[in-house]
């Protein structure tokens, strides 16, 4: 079946630094990748959608200069949280889909803690 | 705007005690309704996709059904390993809108 690998699974960083999270589709080509954020006991909130080779489309209220998304290949998308602050601490999850893999396969998530 | 409401928020069951979870939705042009299971600290794990009213799908102790306004996830004779948060999501165009989930705890 379709597998999406997300790294790191957890990261702790100091306030003001940047953190990069990788999302890879291992056995299929992901034309579209999605990035979500999840707070404790809350559901997944879509942050942005990225298509390979195109600029990401951000949801309303999401700062595109703070959450940089790159989707340079059909198997890799990255989310960089720039100048992280404690309020950016959250669980970030990626998802990938493709025309053949209709459906949405999720990564295992990244727990970001900013201290 | 697409809306997805799940109830109850939490469900505590005794092992073997069957129950149902509800997902009510409002969406323009439903392309699919998805059920996922999420364990603590993990990403969602795909369970089912339903496309049209009247459709049903089963997997082990789980059965999902769909009407024009809601979906149900039935858990038959649950076991402790069925403890998880169950998420419902609707697809209208190319993206998913999620409900807040139902956290199921099954006691042995």
| pLDDT value for A31 | 85
| pLDDT value for A42 | 87
What mean pLDDT, rounded, does chain B reach?
A: 95
Candidate from B43, B87, B98 with C-beta closest to A109:
B43
CB atoms within 10 A of CB B71: 25
The CA distance from B51 to B24, in Å, is: 15
Assess B98–A contact: CB distance below 8 Å, yes or no.
yes
Candidate from B44, B95, B100 with C-beta closest to A106:
B44
Question: Does residue A52 carry a pLDDT above 70?
Answer: yes
- Let me know: does A46 contact A21? Beta carbons within 8 Å: no
Tell me the residue range of the domain where B31 lies: 3-107
- Let me know: does A63 contact A69? Beta carbons within 8 Å: no
| pLDDT value for A26 | 92
- Evaluate the omega torsion of the peptide bond into residue A53 and state whether it is cis, within 30 degrees of 0: no
Check which CATH number belongs to the domain holding B91 and give it.
Answer: 2.60.40.10
- Let me know: does B71 contact B50? Beta carbons within 8 Å: yes
Question: Does residue A1 carry a pLDDT above 80?
Answer: no
- According to DSSP, the β-strands at B19-26 and B70-75 are antiparallel
Q: Between chains, do B44 and A93 touch, taking CB under 8 Å as contact?
A: yes
Compute the nearest-CA separation of A83 from chain B (Å): 24
Side-chain-side CA neighbours of A40 within 13 Å: the count stands at: 4
The CA distance from A75 to A96, in Å, is: 9
Among B44, B92, B94, most A C-beta atoms within 10 A, so best to mutate, is: B44
Strand, coil or helix: what is A88? helix
| pLDDT value for A102 | 66
| pLDDT value for A101 | 65
Which parts of chain B sit beneath pLDDT 50? none
| The CA-based dihedral angle spanning residues B75, B32, B88, B15, taken in that order and rounded to the nearest 10 degrees | 10
Radius of gyration of chain A (CA): 13
DSSP string, chain B: --EEEEE-SEEEEETT--EEEEEEEE-SS--EEEEEEE-TTS--EEEEEE-STT-EEEETTEEEEE-SSEEEEEE-S--GGG-EEEEEEEESSSSEEE---EEEEEE-
Question: Does residue A2 carry a pLDDT above 90?
Answer: no
| pLDDT value for B97 | 93
Percent of chain B with pLDDT over 70: 100
The CA distance from A45 to A89, in Å, is: 14
Q: Between chains, do A32 and B34 touch, taking CB under 8 Å as contact?
A: no
| pLDDT value for B92 | 85
**Among candidate residues A5, A6, A12, the one with its CA nearest the CA of residue A89:** A12
Going from the C-alpha of B26 to that of each of B4, B9, B68, the distances in angstroms are: 7, 19, 9
What mean pLDDT, rounded, does chain A reach?
A: 92
Q: Which residues of B touch A95 (CB under 8 A)?
A: 43, 96
Compute the nearest-CA separation of B99 from chain A (Å): 6
**For residue A18, what are the contacts with CB-CB under 8 A and spacing of at least 6?**
A80, A81, A82, A83, A84
pLDDT mean over A39-65: 91
| Banded pLDDT at A115 (limits 50, 70, 90) | very high
Number of domains in chain B: 1
């Amino acid at each position: 079946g379709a597998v999406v690998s997300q790294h790191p699974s957890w990261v702790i960083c100091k306030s003001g630094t940047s953190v990069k999270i990788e999302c890879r589709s291992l056995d299929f080509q992901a034309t579209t990748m999605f990035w979500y954020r999840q707070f404790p006991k809350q559901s997944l909130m879509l942050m942005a959608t990225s298509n390979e080779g195109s600029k990401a489309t951000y949801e309303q209220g999401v700062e595109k200069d703070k959450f940089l998304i790159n989707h340079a290949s059909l198997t890799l998308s990255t989310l960089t949280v720039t100048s992280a602050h404690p309020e950016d601490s959250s669980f970030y999850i990626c998802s990938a889909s493709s025309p053949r893999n209709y459906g949405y396969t999720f990564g295992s998530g990244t727990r970001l803690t900013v201290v | 705007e697409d809306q997805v409401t799940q109830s109850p928020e939490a469900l505590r069951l005794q092992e073997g005690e069957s129950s149902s979870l509800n997902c009510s939705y409002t969406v323009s042009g439903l392309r699919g309704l998805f059920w996922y299971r999420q364990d603590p600290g993990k990403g969602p794990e795909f369970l089912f996709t339903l496309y049209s009213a009247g459709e049903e799908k089963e997997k082990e102790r789980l059965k999902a059904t769909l009407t024009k306004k809601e979906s149900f996830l039935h858990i038959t004779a649950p076991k402790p390993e069925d403890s998880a948060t169950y998420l419902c999501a609707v697809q209208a165009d190319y993206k998913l809108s999620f409900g807040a989930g139902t956290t199921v705890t099954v006691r042995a």
